Amino acid sequence: MRKQYPPTVKAKIVLELLKEEKTLQEAAAHYGIHVNQLRQWRQRAEDELPGLFSREQQVSQAEVKQRDELIESLYGQIGRLSAELSWLQKNGHRAKCERAAGFGRVGGGGISPDHTGQAVGSSSQWPVLPTPSAIGSRGRLEKHRIDEIYTATPFYGSRKIAAQLQQEGYDTCRETVRGYMREMGLQAIYPQPNLSQRRLEDKVYSYLLKNITASYPNHI
C-alpha cells in the first residue's frame, strides 16, 4: 500500500529543500521518501509559488471592477435625479410666469387641467403644479409605450419614437425619450460600420470547384 503524507509534512520537507538545509539524498534518507518523489514536490512548489501572487492580483482587479460599477450606477442615479429636479424647477418657473401674466386660468387657453391638475375642493381657478406621484405615473405610462414601440420596431431611435409619441398625443420631446431609453437599456438596432471587411484571423478556404466543369447530371 502506498504511503500517504499529510500536506503539513510535505510543506515542511519542501521548505527545507528550498532553504537548502538538506539535499535531496539527505532528506530522502531522513524521511524515508524516494528522491524522485521529493524532486516532484519541490518542482511543484516552485511552479505554483508565482500563482499565489497572481491570484491576489486577480482579486484586487475584481474589487476595482466592482467599485467602478458601483460608482457608475450611482452617477446614473444622480443624473436621473438631476434631470427630474431640473424638470420640476423649469415647470415651476413657467407656471409662476403664466400666473403673473394672467394666462394660467383653466379654460383660458393657457394650461389645461390634464397637464397641471387642480386642487381638490378648492374654489380657486389657478392651476397647481403636478405632484411627484403624477409625474411618476405619466413617466411609467410613457416608458410602457416606448417599450411597446421598441418591441414592434427595434430599429427606431429616440427621434422616431419621440415623433410617434407626439403624434399619439404625448407631451414629450426627444431628450426625455432618450433619457427613458437609456434608463431602460434600449438602443436602436442598425448596421454598424465596416461590416463588410474580412477578419484577418478567419481562415480562407480555396475554391475546390475551380477547374471542374459540370458535364452530366449530379456531377457536382
Q: Tell me: pLDDT of 219 over 80.
A: yes
Most confident of 68-72, 122-126, 155-159, 203-207: 155-159
pLDDT at 165: 94
In which residue are the cell numbers 524515508 written?
A: 32
Cβ–Cβ under 8 Å, residues 161 and 150: yes
The structure's pTM equals 0.32
In which residue are the cell numbers 415647470 written?
A: 91
pLDDT band, residue 190 (cuts 50/70/90): confident
Q: Tell me: pLDDT of 148 over 90.
A: yes
End-to-end alpha carbon distance in the chain: 65
Q: Which residues, at least 6 apart from 107, have a Cβ–Cβ distance to it below 8 Å?
A: 125
Q: Which residues, at least 6 apart from 128, have a Cβ–Cβ distance to it below 8 Å?
A: 116, 117, 118, 119
Instruction: Give the residue, 135 or 118, on which the prediction is more confident.
Output: 135
pLDDT tens-digit readout, 201-211: 888 888 888 88
pLDDT band, residue 136 (cuts 50/70/90): low
Instruction: Give the residue, 162 or 96, on which the prediction is more confident.
Output: 162
Q: Tell me: pLDDT of 106 over 80.
A: no
C-alpha cell at 98: 403664466
Q: Tell me: pLDDT of 124 over 70.
A: no
For the chain, percent of residues with pLDDT exceeding 90? 18
Instruction: Give the residue, 152 or 97, on which the prediction is more confident.
Output: 152
| Mean pLDDT calculated for residue range 130-144 | 72
pLDDT band, residue 59 (cuts 50/70/90): low
Cβ–Cβ under 8 Å, residues 84 and 135: yes
Query: 52-56, 65-69, 164-168 — which is least confidently predicted?
Result: 52-56
Query: 32-46, 114-128, 130-144, 160-174 — which is least confidently predicted?
Result: 114-128
